[in-house]
Structure 1
Amino acid sequence: MPMSASPVVRRVRLGAELRRIRRRQSLTLEAVCGRLGWASTSKLSRIELGQSRPDLADVLDLLDVYEVPPGQRDELIVIARDAATGRGWSRALSEMGERQRAYAELEAGAARIVEYQPAVVPGLLQTPAYARLRVTAGALLHEGVDVGADVRARAMRQEVLRRADPPRYTALLDERVCDPGGAPADVWRDQLRHLVALAERPHITVRLLSRDAAPHGGVHPLAAFSYYAYPDPADPRTVLVETLTTDLRLVAEADLACYERLIDWLLAAALSEDESVELLARRLGSALVPRPREPRHALAAESREAVAPEPH
């Protein structure tokens, strides 16, 4: 497992494993809680649904009740520790708001991330100035938003793309994401340069969907979404669907299958990586002719000259 396994994903996996063991032994929630002296079944229910950060002592008690054999017990204890601590993420997560924390927890330890955005640059690819504009706009709808803290949280989340074992990251963006959308010209130019520079990195792919792109059967996403897959195939793949006020987390196989088909169709309809970078460059006012993939590195290096160096 990676050193920073996703705590929220491990919680979901732990809960599913404990629920499966309980049901296999034909034990009800009431029976288990009665044996442990827990006041109600809500505590166990929340653990099984992955809705709470589990206490390791509670998990050990459950493993005792279920008489889990040593090998399986050791595996579940490792998962429980990941679910409870996040291995180094706890301090950073405590400084984030609820929505930022949900994304950070899913990004931690991911092997693959795919994000679709119809109108804005995804948080993992935003410059600080652009992020501040987006957070400030969101604060008009949500009272009590700490703009500075939210911008810092996005910067912390971006560290996942700079770690030693970064995920394979793909951004699927509608062409209108290339429009300034009211952003000051200097902020927008820096953001476009930043996108071009990031697209040079071997683990980051930026693909644009042109305005006349036609995904398979005319199926278009109704909302922005993010897809996460993990090195351990037993950890549940997850989709987070963005809405105005909250984000919907999906882990059911049927839901995941729909989004995986949709991602394939969007990739098939999108411009290639080189075409996407060329379009971004044209929006920067560069008169570039189509070139093979290797010259993109020169373009990205040129673009980075106008962007402040990123911390490592």
Structure 2
Amino acid sequence: MLSSLDLHIRKKLHGVAGPFELEVKLQVVEGELLAIYGPSGVGKTTLLRIIAGLERPDSGYIKVQGKVVWYDRQGRVNLSARKRKVGLVFQDYVLFPHLTVQGNIAFGQDRRKREPALVEALLEMMGLHALADRLPQHLSGGQAQRVALARAVAGRPAILLLDEALSALDPEMRRNMQAAVAAVHREFSLTTLLVSHDLAEVFLLADRVACLDNGALREMGTPEQVFGQSETNDNLKLIGKVIKVGMSENPGMIQALVQGKILELAFSGELDTLHQGQTIWVEFNPNTKELIASSLKNN
């Protein structure tokens, strides 16, 4: 498959524990959603900023779509952020306060190549059509972040970069935004890099995950490959929906939809507190491979 992003960069950074070097070499396949996972302060955000042209690496190269060079230290090439076809969404979304929802989305497009039909399609897809004429100060956090996502996609980017874009939202808004990210990624065949600390989010959205630690790329593969071999004892929390309470063969079990699969699970609380369609946590331990469901309100 065609590589949409091919890079090898180095940059000296200063972290809490002292100086370290960020060195990342990777290829991202066209249409892939790659999660960048790791603890705070290991260079995840810096990597996205380098790709976007907001920071310059000390050495290396960045190529897109097999031939277009965005950065090459040896070749003395460094395209400005404005010339790189990147859609970027940060955790602290920034909308223009004087522009409406529709105006903010349209702002993401090249002024010489306006696509009103695409703006309309994004308003519809993001569930923002009824809010098209509303100003940002009258939006909820989840609504504003959907506007920021739509604006990033409106310019038809070669690469979509999401830097902890969902982490500041409450659980319900975050689930809605995860669905929105999946929808636009699929609909527009985007190549997407997602920085996230949330393992459930990684499992839900990512085709592959790259694990950064102290500036180095330690592991890379599908979420199942990487975290199925995890040595951590921390449980991975996923979101599920109850389909059936009490199985005929085993009355103490429930049936739930998790990651697109129907699973039979033990429930940690009283079954009479559950009902069909209820959202629950499903905890997965990568070492024991055990799954157990629990109520959201207990977490």
TM-score (normalised: structure 2):
0.26
Bigger Rg, which one: 1
TM-score (normalised: structure 1):
0.25
- Structure with higher strand content: 2
